[in-house]
């Protein structure tokens, strides 16, 4: 009888330890999610800074290049989709805005008068600075995503994460790398 109660006590202790460990893992995932959400806010702050350049950049481009509706409409549509997207889809939509923004700057290369415009060159420098800040925050965000996703795939974490989905990385667009064109001549 004594051995049975010791075995029952040991089983109860093991279950309590497992439950406590599960609670700690769940809390840890909650902290990772909160940290990840906070880091995404940093990315969005930088994206907003770049988006704020659009009302100044587009009129300058239109003044020299005329209305090429495709480039301007694609950028506006990508930005609208991004702003309306649920939080989980924002990294993917941000990539689409990146592509549209790059297309606008590549579009400008076809117009020498636009490339020579000092106001446009100043704005291009501001875009380059914004891109650098976005890249920095994107890297930090992706580090957090990698840590969180790696943990919730592992045992025993997988059992205590409540079926959480993997988070999406904010990767660079599949198109060739975007360089705002800041060479030594500008």
Tell me: the pLDDT tens digits for 55-75? 888 888 888 877 666 888 888
Asked if 92 contacts 66 with a C-beta cutoff of 8 angstroms, the reply is: no
Q: Which residues lie below 8 Å from residue 61, measured CB to CB, with a gap of 6+?
A: 72, 104, 107, 108, 114, 120
**110 in any annotated domain:** yes
- Identify the CATH number of the domain in which residue 137 sits: 1.20.1440.20
**78 in any annotated domain:** yes
**181 in any annotated domain:** no
Distance CA 18, CA 165 (A): 23
Distance CA 32, CA 142 (A): 13
- What's the mean pLDDT in 44-58? 89
pLDDT tens-digit map of 108-145: 888 888 888 899 899 989 999 999 999 999 999 999 99
Task: Supply the range of the domain harboring residue 132.
Answer: 2-160
Q: 156 to each of 34, 35, 127, 159, 161, how far by Cα in Å?
A: 21, 21, 45, 6, 9
User: What is the pTM (predicted TM-score) of this model?
Assistant: 0.76
**14 in any annotated domain:** yes
């Amino acid at each position: 009888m004594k051995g049975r109660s010791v075995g029952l006590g040991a089983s109860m202790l093991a279950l309590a330890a497992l439950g406590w460990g599960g609670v700690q893992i769940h809390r840890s995932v909650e902290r990772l999610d909160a940290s990840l959400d906070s880091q995404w806010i940093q990315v969005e702050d930088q994206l907003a800074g770049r988006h704020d350049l659009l009302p100044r950049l587009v009129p300058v481009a239109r003044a020299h290049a005329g209305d090429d509706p495709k480039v301007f409409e694609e950028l506006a549509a990508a930005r609208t989709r991004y702003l309306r997207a649920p939080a989980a889809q924002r990294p993917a939509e941000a990539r689409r805005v990146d592509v549209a923004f790059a297309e606008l700057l590549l579009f400008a290369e076809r117009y020498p008068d636009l490339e020579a415009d000092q106001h446009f060159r100043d704005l291009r420098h501001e875009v380059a600075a914004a891109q650098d800040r976005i890249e920095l925050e994107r890297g930090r965000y992706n580090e957090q995503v990698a840590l969180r996703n790696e943990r919730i795939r592992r045992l025993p974490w997988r059992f205590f994460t409540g079926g959480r989905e993997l988070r999406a990385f904010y990767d660079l667009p599949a198109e060739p790398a975007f360089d705002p064109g800041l060479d030594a001549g500008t």
